[in-house]
Chains A and B, each alone.
Chain A
């Protein structure tokens, strides 16, 4: 057998079932790879003892012919997910010593189904970022480099630890979260696949909150099929999250390989933005041709409020963040910096505990929610959100099954290259993904080719509410047509 870390999640699952390998062997191979890849800074905490104990328990189950859908499969967990007894920081100094006494619903479902935890993955602080450069643990490097260059590139963000670890083969798959593109953009930057399911599909309980009306959990993995397998375990109704939806979770894997013949795929003209690189435009056209060749019908559609999604997002998300992050006050958990009175203690604690980007966003949030500005900013942004959602509803009412767009406006950029002077420069990364969060829809990013510099480029498919199955079917057609991305050889 080839190197065990080269297996996809589905291949590893089948190898375990066929007893060609044990979970202890596979888990051991990943732990070794993680140790050798510490320079990438993808993991902020490795949990080898727990991993090997879980693997052993899985092997015993598998030997008895038992075990769940993910039995014995080692995964990385974004450090935004609370893990019982295992430090959970959200990439922030303010939670640097936080050890949850509870397990997030999504991870508890992964363990219920037999998965093995390898450790906690780096992310932008409180998931605020598009490059994984705002983490208190420092930036994550992508395993990808431009042809003929040794410059370190970002793995995208906020789920940069997840995307880097999956691409570098430091886990079979990873959990991630997506508020404005934080699953799809890092997946696109690293030649991996990531799906943000419909809002309400996965429980948010036990996931550190950023912007509650936009946050959604999802996987990043190497293939469309691996995503389908993981999402089935992650999804489902949870009474502890009132926004989680009580509808049955389908067998997503069954949708992988299903024919897309006769499906209508929308091509939205508003995604042809000014200054879009020719290679992104060409990739998009190629993706459309692949779908057409598979029997889908391409239809031109219009989503007129697309350009307003990002500015509206930068009102709604900071507003919700400023409210969610009010809990970090140095009283009940996390960092405390003493002050002469309680007021000064709060202010010093939050100044020391939050990084620059987080401070900036909670200040913007406090401003747009403050007296005299609430209607002009927040209420207006929520009205625009209604219009964005209506755009999609009108397209879907025309019988469109899914919408094809580029995933990102460019390939990955270098660490330290963007957003230094103007924060908006970094925000523009999410221009194609953020509409999906604003409308609560599912979206998947799938690798579709390489840039002229040899870096992965992805396409995005946007689906109807709770129709992730169509996304898996269509994404697999792109994956097959593009050919599986050859992940970079270990240089790290």
Chain B
């Protein structure tokens, strides 16, 4: 499988990465090189094989559903580019 330029733009949008028109042909070439490389997997017969979900056999650990931390709003927003009253500020989303 290979991707065309429209697909490159669509993937970039899915990944939320702005791309310029000049970048599209380069990306197309690079992505197609990677996709061509992974194509050799088609040689492998995987019928009846379970996909791996956990590399080490282990039971999912659980804990009490209880509050164990909190009251640190200053710290939580400490690295944010824009905040107000412990809220993260973003451009208006709903008109």
In the complex, chain A residues 311-330 whose Cβ is within 8 Å of any chain B Cβ: 311-312, 314-315, 322, 326, 329-330
Distance between Cα atoms of A384 and B46 in the complex (Å): 7
B41 and A381 within 8 A (CB):
yes
Which residues on A sit within 8 Å (CB–CB) of B88? 331-332
Which residues on B sit within 8 Å (CB–CB) of A387? 44, 46, 49
Looking at chain A's contact residues, the main secondary structure is: helix
A366 and B33 within 8 A (CB):
no
Given contacts A242-B61, A314-B37, A315-B38, contact A199 B3 (CB under 8 A): no
A382 and B53 within 8 A (CB):
yes
Indicate whether B15 reaches chain A with its CB closer than 8 angstroms.
Answer: yes
Q: How far is the CB of A94 from chain B (nearest CB, A)?
A: 11
Which residues on A sit within 8 Å (CB–CB) of B46? 380, 383-384, 387
Indicate whether B25 reaches chain A with its CB closer than 8 angstroms.
Answer: no
Which residues on A sit within 8 Å (CB–CB) of B60? 242
Which residues on B sit within 8 Å (CB–CB) of A198? 56
In the complex, chain A residues 68-107 whose Cβ is within 8 Å of any chain B Cβ: 97-99, 101
Which residues on A sit within 8 Å (CB–CB) of B52? 382-383, 385-386, 389
Which residues on A sit within 8 Å (CB–CB) of B56? 198-200, 243, 245, 440, 465
Given contacts A314-B37, A383-B46, contact A366 B11 (CB under 8 A): yes
In the complex, chain B residues 53-95 whose Cβ is within 8 Å of any chain A Cβ: 53-56, 58, 60-61, 63, 72, 75, 77-82, 88, 90-93
B49 and A330 within 8 A (CB):
no
Indicate whether A400 reaches chain B with its CB closer than 8 angstroms.
Answer: no
Indicate whether A347 reaches chain B with its CB closer than 8 angstroms.
Answer: yes
Distance between Cα atoms of A382 and B49 in the complex (Å): 9
Indicate whether A424 reaches chain B with its CB closer than 8 angstroms.
Answer: yes
Contact-residue bracket for chain B: 35 or more
Looking at chain B's contact residues, the main secondary structure is: loop
Given contacts A200-B56, A213-B55, contact A334 B17 (CB under 8 A): no
Q: How far is the CB of A9 from chain B (nearest CB, A)?
A: 29
Which residues on A sit within 8 Å (CB–CB) of B58? 200, 243, 245
* Segment at the interface with B among A33-41, A169-177, A355-363: A355-363
B37 and A350 within 8 A (CB):
no
Q: How far is the CB of A390 from chain B (nearest CB, A)?
A: 9
B15 and A382 within 8 A (CB):
no
Given contacts A200-B56, A322-B15, A350-B18, contact A331 B37 (CB under 8 A): no
B16 and A347 within 8 A (CB):
yes
Interface residues of B (CB under 8 A from A): 1, 3, 7-8, 11-19, 27, 30-31, 33-35, 37-41, 43-44, 46, 49-56, 58, 60-61, 63, 72, 75, 77-82, 88, 90-93
Can you offer 30 A-B residue contacts whose CB atoms are under 8 A? Answer: A98-B79, A101-B72, A101-B78, A311-B37, A314-B37, A330-B81, A331-B90, A332-B79, A338-B91, A348-B18, A351-B19, A354-B17, A360-B34, A362-B15, A363-B15, A364-B35, A367-B7, A367-B31, A370-B11, A383-B50, A383-B52, A385-B51, A386-B49, A386-B50, A386-B51, A387-B44, A389-B55, A424-B33, A440-B56, A465-B56
